[in-house]
Each structure stands twice: as C-alpha cells, then as structure tokens.
Amino acid sequence: MSFQEKNISASLSTFTLILVFYLIRVSQMVQAESFNSANLFRLWGIIAVLAVVGTILISIFAHIAGGIVHKIRTNEDTQIEDIQDERDQIIDLKGTRVAHTFSSLGVAASMLTFVFGQPPLVMFATLIFFGILAQIVSDIWRLNLYRKGF
Amino acid sequence: MGKGRISNNIRKLRFFRDEMTQQQLAEKVGVTRQTIIAMEQDKYSPSLELAFRIAHVFGAPLEEVFSYHPEDSQA
C-alpha cells in the first residue's frame, strides 16, 4: 500500500467512525428531546476537532504499523514515497470532484427539508451528514482509482 | 469518439537496461514507484511530458516505448 493509499485509508476510517458517532449522538438527542441548536452546534465543533485530530493520529498509526509489518515481512526499512506525482494529483482531483458533487446533492437535499416543513435544525443536521458522507464517498472513489487504475 | 488504449514496453526496456529497478526508473523520471507499477500494468496512461521523460531515460523514441490502440482495433 502506497503512502497516499495509507493516508486515504486513514481518512476513510476516521470519517466512517465520525459518521457513526454523529448518527448515534443525533439519535440520542432526538430520543432525549434535547435536539436544539446549542447541542447541535456543539456537536459540529466536536466533529470538526475529531476530524482533524483523528485523521492525524490514525495516519501516524497507519504509517508506523505499516512500517513495522513491512520490516517483519521483508526485513527491509520502509521507503516513504511522500512525493505527490501527476497520477496522485489526478486521482485527488477526481476524488474532489466526487466530493463536490455529493456535497451539492447534500445541500439540495438539506433544502428539501424546508419544503417538507421541517425546522432549520433538521436542515443543519442533514447538511453535516452529507458533508461527512461526501468525504467518505470521495475516499472510497480515490482508493478504487488507486486499485483499479483509470 | 471512443477511448483507445495505450500500452507500453517499459518492463521490457527496463530488462534490457541491466534490469533497471522500478524504483530507479521512478527516481529518474520524478514519480513514485507506484506510478511505474500502474503504468506497467496498463492501469495508468502517463502525461505527454512523463512519456517523453521515460523515453529519454531509455534513449528510445516515444513510439518504441508507448503504443496507441484505437478502440476498434482492440483484441
């Protein structure tokens, strides 16, 4: 697995965990009837911090664990190819395009909640849900491009 | 207009250059080894600039390294 693939896998794992955490917290809030703006925006803050810190920590762990496994298997030191060449850039751009498409669909879906007479809080909750989902879909898309080629 | 396929002889040319490793070629042309692997497996078609750099490393004309197969001539 290349340096870039490890980073994408780390991001994918982080955002999947964040999505699960987000859905659990929102459902808990709804059940406890504490689904209000203060709690929801607090959750936004927690998710933003988790996304940054989680991605960094999981990336570091993935590279260290990958290095140890490589050393045990081949008895050679790991060579870190942290340069981003033209193929990585194209894959990044394709992933970003998918993320933008998904985010746009998410914004449209969020606005639809108004059409169905839902309060603004539901719109905000839907918006962040699609934001996280867009990142996950983008990561899966990029990993697929690395594996299958294009 | 349909998409064609670009194949290459990089593996063969590496062999004839004293079994040049993928890592050595990658360093000479300024890409990662993963990109060389993807090209050898026909999973990635390089940019024109990279194609010229690879041909330059092997000292061969471009058409000796890469060949284009239009969609209707695929076997």
Q: Is the ipTM of this complex over 0.85?
A: no
Give the Cα separation of A102 and A134 in Å (integer): 5
Taking residues A80-109, report their average pLDDT: 91
Are A90 and B50 in contact, with CB atoms under 8 Å apart?
A: no
How large is the average pLDDT for residues B17-33? 93
What's the pTM value of the predicted model, to 2 decimals?
Answer: 0.83
Q: How far is B74 from chain A (nearest CA, A)?
A: 17
Is the pLDDT reported for residue B75 higher than 50?
no
Window A:82-111, CB contacts with B under 8 Å: 83, 85-88
Residue keyed to tokens 């197969």: B69
Query: What's the Cα-to-Cα distance from A66 to each of A55, A58, A60, A76, rounded to whole Å?
Result: 16, 12, 10, 12
The pLDDT of residue A104 is 96
Q: Which residues of B touch A3 (CB under 8 A)?
A: 32
The terminus-to-terminus CA distance of chain A in angstroms comes to 18
Return d(Cα A110, Cα A131) in angstroms, integer: 11
Cα atoms in the 13 Å half-sphere on the side-chain side of A94: 16
Among all residues of chain A, which has the CA nearest to that of B5? A150
Sign of the Cα pseudo-torsion (A98, A102, A107, A112, in order): positive
pLDDT value for A71: 81
Single-letter amino acid, residue A142: R
Q: Is the dihedral of CA A11, A16, A20, A23 positive or negative?
A: positive
- Report residue B6: phi and psi, to 5°: -110, 120
Tokens 């079994």 correspond to B19
Nearest by CB to residue A87, choosing from B23, B42, B44, is B44
Per-residue pLDDT tens digits for A6-53: 889 989 999 999 999 999 999 999 999 898 999 999 999 999 999 999
Find the distance separating the first CA and the last CA of chain B, reported in whole Å. Answer: 18
Query: How close is the nearest chain B Cα to the Cα of A126, in Å?
Result: 37
Burial level of A44, CB count in 10 A (0-12/13-18/19+)? middle
Question: What are the tens digits of pLDDT across the range A67-88?
Answer: 888 788 887 776 666 678 999 9
B42 Cβ under 8 Å from any chain A Cβ = yes
Which residues of chain A lie closer than 8 angstroms to B30, CB-CB? 83, 85
